[in-house]
Chain A
Amino acid sequence: MRYQSQSVAYWYFAVAMVLFGLQLVFGLLSATKYLGPDPLLYILPFDVTKVIHTNLLIVWVLTGFMGATYWMIPEESRTELHSVKLAYIQLGLWTLMGVTAIIGYLFRYGTGNKLLEQPLPHKIVIVICMLIFLYNIGMTIRKSGRFTATESVLMIGLVSSAILFFPALLHYENYTVSIFYRWWTIHLWVEGVWMMIMGAFLAYLLIRLSGADREVMEKWLYVIVGLVFIAGIIGTAHHYYWVGVPTYWLPIGGFFSALEPLALVGMAAYAYGAMRRSGLAHPNTLALHWTIGSAVFALFGAGLLGLAHTWPSVNKWTHGTLITAMHGHAAFYGAYAMIVLAMITYALPSMTNRREPGSAIGYWAFWLQISGMFGMTLSFATAGIGQVYLERIMGMGYLDAQLKIQIHFVMLICTASVFTVGVALFIYDFFRHAPRFATTPDPDARMPHASSGTL
C-alpha cells in the first residue's frame, strides 16, 4: 500500500464479502424451492428469497466497485484520497441502505419492479452515496492533476452509472414504457457502463501484473470501450423484443447484440496477449488467475451464452425460460463478481499479512468457484433446453414441463454447493488475515514498470 487512504478499500471489500456470502444463502434457498414442496411457503416464499438474492448481488458488486476504485485512484493519481472521512460516511450510509432494503423485502416492502425493487427512500440514499463517491474521487483527481486514461474510462463509467440510475426513479403509467426505461438502467449498466468499469479495472490489473506497456494497454482499452458502446447501446434492443414496442427493434437487436461479444473477445485477447508478451512474472499469481479468469469467463458467460439466444427467431422460443437464468448467472459472475474478486486478491497482500502468491486455500477457492459456476450454468442450460422444447415448442403445460426437468434442479443444487464451498473459502481467506495498513514507499517496486504515460 502506497497511500494511507487506500485502506478504506479494505472495509468496502469486507462489507462486499459479507453480502456475497448472504447472497449465496438466498440463492441456495431459491434453488431448493425448484424441487419443492416448500416448507417455507408462508414464511419465505420464492419471490422473497429471489428478490434478496438479486439485490444482494447488485449491492455487493457495487460495494466492490467502490472499494476497488478507492484502491486504484490514489495509485493512479499518486495522491491521498480527498477525504477519508467522506469515504467512511458513504460506506456507512450505503451499508445501512443495503441492509434495511433486505430487511424490508422480508416484509414485502419494495416496488415489485424487477431488479429495481428498492423503495424510493432507498433509491434516494443510493443517489446520495453515488454523489458523495463521485465528488470524493473527482476532487482527488483534480487535486493531484494526474488523470490517466484508465482513470478516465473508470470515471466515465461511474458517472454514467449514476446518470443512468435516474430513469429508475420515475413512475410510468404504461407498463410497456416502464419496461422500456427499466432497461436504460439495467442493460446500459451491465452491458455498457459497467463494462467500462470492468475494462478499466482489467487494464489497471494487467498493467500492474504483467508490466505491459501502459501506452499500448490504454490504446486497446479505448478500442474495447468503443466496441462496448457501438454494440451495447443499440444492443439494448434485445430487451425490447416482445414487450409492445415497434417491430424494427427485432432485427436491430439481433444485429447489434450479435456484435456485443466482440468487445468481450477483445478483452480476453487483451488479457491473454498482455500476459504472453510481458515476460515478467508478478508474484501475485492468484490475482493473475482471477484477472485472466474474469476476462475468459465473461467471454463465455456474457458473450457466447448471450449470443446463444439473442437472435429474435431463437429468442421467441427461449424468451422468459431458464435459458435466461443460464446466461445471467455466468455473465454476472464472469464479468463483475470475478473482476471484483481479482481487485480484492490483488490489493489484499498490501493491506493484510497475506503472502503475495496467495495460499492453497485461495487456489481452492478459485477452482471450486469456477467449476461450481460452470456446473450451475450447465444445469440451467440443460433445464432451459428441456423447458423450451417441452413447454414452448411441443406445448406441454408449464407446471407439467417443470416436473420433467426436476433432475436438472438436483444438478443445480449440487453444483451450487460446490460453488458455495469455493466462496466460503474465499471469504475465510479474506478474513483470516488481520488488516495491516502500513504504507510502503513504492509497492510497484516489487516489479519493474515499463512506462506510465498520462492523458
Chain B
Amino acid sequence: MNNRQARLFAIWGTGLSTLLFLGMTLDTHRQIPELTNSENITPQVTHGMDVWHKYNCINCHTLFGEGAYYAPDLTKITQHRGEPYLQAYMRDPSKFYDEQTHRRLMPKQDLSEEEITDLIAFLDWVSKVDNQGWPPRPILVTGSFIPGTAAVAGVDATGTPAAPEGTTPVDPGDDIRALGEHVFRTASPACIACHSTAPGANMAGPTLAGIATRAAETIASPDYKGQATDVEGYIRESITQPSAHLVPGDMYSAGGVSFMPPGYGDGLSAEQIDQLTAFLATLK
C-alpha cells in the first residue's frame, strides 16, 4: 500500500460510514415518534424536562442509564413509586432516607408544587418510552428481591427491635406514606420479606407494584368476593383478612386460605394499618 492508497482508504472508509450513519439517522427520525409516544409530550412534560435540566438532576442520577452514578436510575421510577409518594419525596427527601444509614442523601431542592407535578409527568413519559426492554430486571432504589438481604428489622442486644438497616427512623410528624413504608419494612413479619414493589418480581407473595391499579380492576370484576368498595378498602381488607379475596395461583393459597400470615389485623395498630394502606395505595 502506498501513500495515495492509504489516503483513499481513509477517504472512502469515512465517506461510506458517514452515508450509512446518515441513512440510519433518517430512519430513526421516522420511527422515534412511535417509539417515544411523542404525541404524549404535552407542555407539562416539556416543562418537566426543563425542571429536570434546571436542577441538574443528571449529574447525580441516570435516565435511560445516562448521567452520573451517584444516585439511582430513574428511567422506570414512576412504575415503582406512585405520584403521591414521589411528590412527598421531592418536597423533602430526608423524610424518606437517612444520610447516616445510606451515607448519602439527596439535598432538598425547593421545587415548587407545579415543578414537582410536571417533573413527575416527564418521568412518567420517560418510563413509557420503548427502550428495548431496558433494564432487563427492575433497578430498585432500596430493598431487594432476595429474601434476607433486604432491609429487614433486626433486634438489638436488649431485645428491642432496632431500626432496620436502610430505613429512616421516622417520627409521627412525617408524611403518612413515609410512615407506611416504614411499617412495610418493619412489621413483624416484614411485608417486604414476601412482597417486592418491583413490577414482575413475585417472591413468596405477588409483587405489590401496581397494586392500586389492580385493586381497582379486581373490585370491578365479577370474580371479586370481598367486601371492599374502593382501593383503600381492598388493601385494608387484604392486610387484615388475607383470605377475603385470593390472588389466583397455587403458590399463594390452598383450599381457599391464603398463605399470608393472618395476624396483621391484631398485630398492627389501626393507625399503622392506615399508614400501610396509604403507602400501598401509591403503588400504581
Contacts and interface: CB of A to CB of B under 8 A. Distances in A.
A51 interface: yes
Interface string A307-321: 000000000110111
B142 A398 contact: yes
A397 interface: yes
B35 A245 contact: yes
Interface string A217-255: 011101101110110011010001111111111101000
Given A33-B104, A36-B103, A233-B21, A320 B66 contact: yes
A247 B132 contact: yes
B65 interface: yes
Interface of A: 30, 33-38, 41-42, 45-48, 50-51, 108, 110-114, 117, 149, 173-177, 179-180, 215, 218-220, 222-223, 225-227, 229-230, 233-234, 236, 240-250, 252, 316-317, 319-322, 324-325, 391-400, 402-403, 406
A395 B70 contact: no
A120 to B, nearest CB: 12
A395 B3 contact: no
Contacts of B54: 108, 112
Mostly helix, strand, loop or mixed at chain A's interface? helix
B157 interface: no
B21 to A, nearest CB: 5
A47 B139 contact: no
Contacts of B125: 175
Interface string B110-129: 00000000000010011001
Interface string B5-45: 01101110110111011001101110110011010010000
B32 A398 contact: no
A392 B145 CA distance: 11
B57 interface: yes
A327 B116 CA distance: 34
Given A41-B107, A392-B137, 5 more contacts: A111-B53, A149-B7, A246-B31, A400-B149, A400-B165
Contacts of A176: 32, 35-36, 64, 129
B59 A47 contact: yes
A46 B244 CA distance: 49
Contacts of B145: 394-396
> For chain B, which range describes its interface: under 10, 10 to 19, 20 to 34, or 35 or more residues?
35 or more
Interface string B49-80: 10011111111101111111111110000000
A219 B198 CA distance: 56
Interface of B: 1-3, 6-7, 9-11, 13-14, 16-18, 20-21, 24-25, 27-29, 31-32, 35-36, 38, 41, 46, 49, 52-60, 62-73, 97, 99-100, 102-105, 107, 122, 125-126, 129-132, 134-146, 149-151, 165-166, 198, 201
Contact of B131 (A244, A252, A402): A244
Contacts of A41: 99, 105, 107
A174 B57 contact: no
5 contacts: A173-B46, A219-B3, A226-B14, A233-B18, A320-B64
A381 B210 CA distance: 36
A230 B14 contact: yes
Nearest to A180: B28
A396 B64 contact: no
A406 B103 CA distance: 10
A47 B60 contact: yes
A233 B66 CA distance: 20
B28 A245 contact: yes
Contact of B166 (A37, A179, A230, A397): A397
B266 to A, nearest CB: 30
Contact of A174 (B3, B38, B135, B136): B38
B100 A230 contact: no
Given A50-B70, A242-B131, A394-B145, A402 B102 contact: yes
